Every structure is written in structure tokens, then in C-alpha cells.
Structure 1
Amino acid sequence: MAHLILASSSPRRRELLQQLGLEFDIFSPDIDESVRSGESVAEYVERLAQAKAAAVQQQFPNAIVIAADTSLGVDNHILGKPESKQHAFAMWNMISGRKHDVFSGVCVRTKNQICSIVVRTQVEFQTLSSNDMESYWATSEPIGKAGAYAIQGIAARYIPCIEGSYSNVVGLPLHETVQLLQTVKALN
């Protein structure tokens, strides 16, 4: 396989991709992650994954680039990473005691091909008390996480069930990523 690059500095994505036994380098592009007016969560994450892949492809034209972006969707709102404690609490109040969707856009790109997909997983969150929120914030785990939680960490205690891909909620849907890699390899 050609030189593989993960277009992300996320330690979770790195760990997930390592589970597949692949050798890869990491190069994290700097792109504008602003939400466009009227953009759905699915459109947003796919656009960002494609933009990240394109930015890295320009730097490494002979590589196979894997890029991803993950966000939550609830009540037509896109929930990204918390900007503050208050922002995290506002997000938790939106998902507390109900289900929400986690979307990941994944793009695998070569100089000749672009393959992308959006994966959706539904996550149920228990009702959170103020004490739950204060305690969880104090762990620092929510910082830098879409929706202000990490399913693979302490937040698992608040999640009674999911419907769909667990690795998607962590940040990189592995099955679908492998399918995209196989498509690119088959077409090269």
C-alpha cells in the first residue's frame, strides 16, 4: 500500500487506526471549521473531512490520505467541542435524558480519487444532574471532545445504549474506513 497519512491530531483516531494494524504518518491540517448557514450535521462533517483530506493531499500528493470529522446533532443543532464550562453544560442539558446522533464524515483521498461517507450512530444519554455535570467537568475529559464527552472514558457511565458503530462515536468508524480504503486500493 502507498504511503498512508491520517489527517488528524486526534489521539483517539490514531488509536483506532492503529487497531487495524496499519502503518501511517500523522499530519494535521489547519482548516476553517465554521458551520455554514443551513448546513446539516451530515453535510458539515463530510465537508470538513473532505477539506482536511484535500489540504493534506496538497502537501503529500502521492499519499493516501484518511481524514475525518465528528460532531453531534440534536434538535437541528451541531454540537462540536466545548468552548467553556458553560458551553459544555449547555450541551449536556440538550442531550440529558434523551437520544442524540453522532455523525462522522470520513474521506479517503489519493491524487486521482476521493471517496467519502457519513456514518450516523444514535446515543442515549441518561438524565444528568448538576452534580453529575460538575463532577464530569472536573475530570477534564470533556475538553476537546465533540459533545463534551468521551464514550470510551468516564462518560460511558452515563450512556445506557447506542445504536450503530461504537468506533464512530469515538471518532473514526473503522468498518467504513476500511471499506473506503479497499475502494481506493481496488481503483488504483
Structure 2
Amino acid sequence: MAHLILASSSPRRRELLTQLGLSFDVYSPDIDESVHLGEHVANYVQRLAQDKAAAVIAKFPDALVIAADTSLGVDGQIVGKPESKAHAFAMWQMISNRQHDVFSGVCVRTKQQISSIVVRTEVQFQALSTQDMEEYWATGEPMGKAGGYAIQGIAARYIPKIHGSYSNVVGLPLHETVQLLTAFKALN
């Protein structure tokens, strides 16, 4: 197998990829993550995954690169990572007592070949009180997380159900990633 590189600084993606028993290095490229005017969340995460993979393959042309990006979609709006407590509270008010979508774009790439997919999971959140939000913010867990929450952490208490891939909500849909790698004959 070619030298495998995960194009991400996310510890969650590292943990998920490690679950597959793969040996890989990590290199996090610096790309522009600005949202394009009118861009749908599915297109956004796919574009960022492809841009990350392209940046890493340019630096390591003999590698096999896995890149991913995850964002939430609420009423057609892209919900990224909280920049402040007020921003996190605004996000949580948007998803409180309703369903939202988590999208991950995954791109597997070599110098000669590229393949990508977008995975969508529906997540139901319970109604959040101001006290719930204050307590969750105080844990420190929300920072650096799409939508300001980690389903694999304390936030699980607020999520009564999901429809779709759990690992997608964490940040890397494992089943689909394996399918992409298998198509590249990277897995036995």
C-alpha cells in the first residue's frame, strides 16, 4: 500500500481511522475554508475535502491521501465551529428541539486518481435550556467542534436519536471511507 496520509489535525479523525487498523501519518494542510456565496453544505464539505487532499498530494506526490471535512446544515445554512460563547449559544438555539443534518465530505486521492463522497446523517437534539447551554459550555468540549458539540462526548446526553452514520457525526464516516479505500485497492 502507498504511504497513507490523513489530511487533518482532528484527533477524532485520527482515532476513527486508527479503529480501522491502518498505519498512517498526519499532515494538516492550510487551506481557505471560506464559504462561497450560495454554497450548499454538501458542496462545501466536498470541496474542502478535495482541496485538503490536493494540498497534501502536492506536497507528498507518492502518497495515498484521506481528507475530510464535516459541517452541520440547518435550514440550508452552514453551521461551522463556534468562535465564542455567544456564537455557540446561537448555534445551540438553532438546533435545540429539532433535527439537523451533519454532512462529511471524504476524499481519497493519489497523484493519478481521485474519488470523493458526501455522507449525511440526521441528528435530533432535545430542547436545550439556558442552564443546559451554560453547563455544556463550561465543560470546554464545544470549542473546535462543528455545531459546537461532540456526539461522542458529553453532548450525547442531548441527542435522543440519529438516522445514519454515527462515525460521520464524529467526523469521518468509516464505512464510506473503507469503500473509497477499497476502490483504490488500498485495503485487502
Determine if the TM-score, normalized by the shorter chain, exceeds 0.5. Answer: yes
Q: How far 1:185 moved relative to its partner?
A: 1.8
- In structure 1, the residue matched to 2:125 is 125
Amino acid at match of 1:174: L
Once residues 88 and 185 of structure 2 are traced to their aligned partners in structure 1, the CA distance between those partners, rounded to angstroms, is 40
RMSD: 0.6
Unaligned runs of 5+ in 1: none
- In structure 2, the residue matched to 1:47 is 47
Does residue 1:158 correspond to 2:158, yes or no? yes
- In structure 1, the residue matched to 2:75 is 75
Q: What's the CA shift string for 1:5-61, capped at 9, x where partnerless?
A: 000010000000000000000000000000000100000000000000000000100
- In structure 2, the residue matched to 1:107 is 107
Does residue 1:65 correspond to 2:65, yes or no? yes
What secondary structure sits across from 1:78 in the alignment?
strand
Once residues 116 and 131 of structure 1 are traced to their aligned partners in structure 2, the CA distance between those partners, rounded to angstroms, is 40
Once residues 92 and 121 of structure 1 are traced to their aligned partners in structure 2, the CA distance between those partners, rounded to angstroms, is 18
- In structure 2, the residue matched to 1:169 is 169
- In structure 2, the residue matched to 1:27 is 27
- In structure 2, the residue matched to 1:87 is 87
Once residues 85 and 114 of structure 1 are traced to their aligned partners in structure 2, the CA distance between those partners, rounded to angstroms, is 38
Q: How far 1:184 moved relative to its partner?
A: 1.4
Q: How far 1:153 moved relative to its partner?
A: 0.1
- TM-score if structure 2 supplies the norm length? 0.98
Amino acid at match of 1:107: C
What secondary structure sits across from 1:131 in the alignment?
helix
Q: How far 1:95 moved relative to its partner?
A: 0.2
Amino acid at match of 2:143: I
Amino acid at match of 1:157: R
- TM-score if structure 1 supplies the norm length? 0.98
Once residues 129 and 77 of structure 2 are traced to their aligned partners in structure 1, the CA distance between those partners, rounded to angstroms, is 22
Once residues 117 and 144 of structure 1 are traced to their aligned partners in structure 2, the CA distance between those partners, rounded to angstroms, is 23
Amino acid at match of 2:164: G
What secondary structure sits across from 1:121 in the alignment?
strand
Does residue 1:182 correspond to 2:182, yes or no? yes
Once residues 107 and 75 of structure 2 are traced to their aligned partners in structure 1, the CA distance between those partners, rounded to angstroms, is 26
What secondary structure sits across from 1:46 in the alignment?
helix
Q: How far 1:76 moved relative to its partner?
A: 1.1
Q: How far 1:121 moved relative to its partner?
A: 0.1
Unaligned runs of 5+ in 2: none
What secondary structure sits across from 2:185 in the alignment?
helix
Identity over aligned pairs, percent = 80
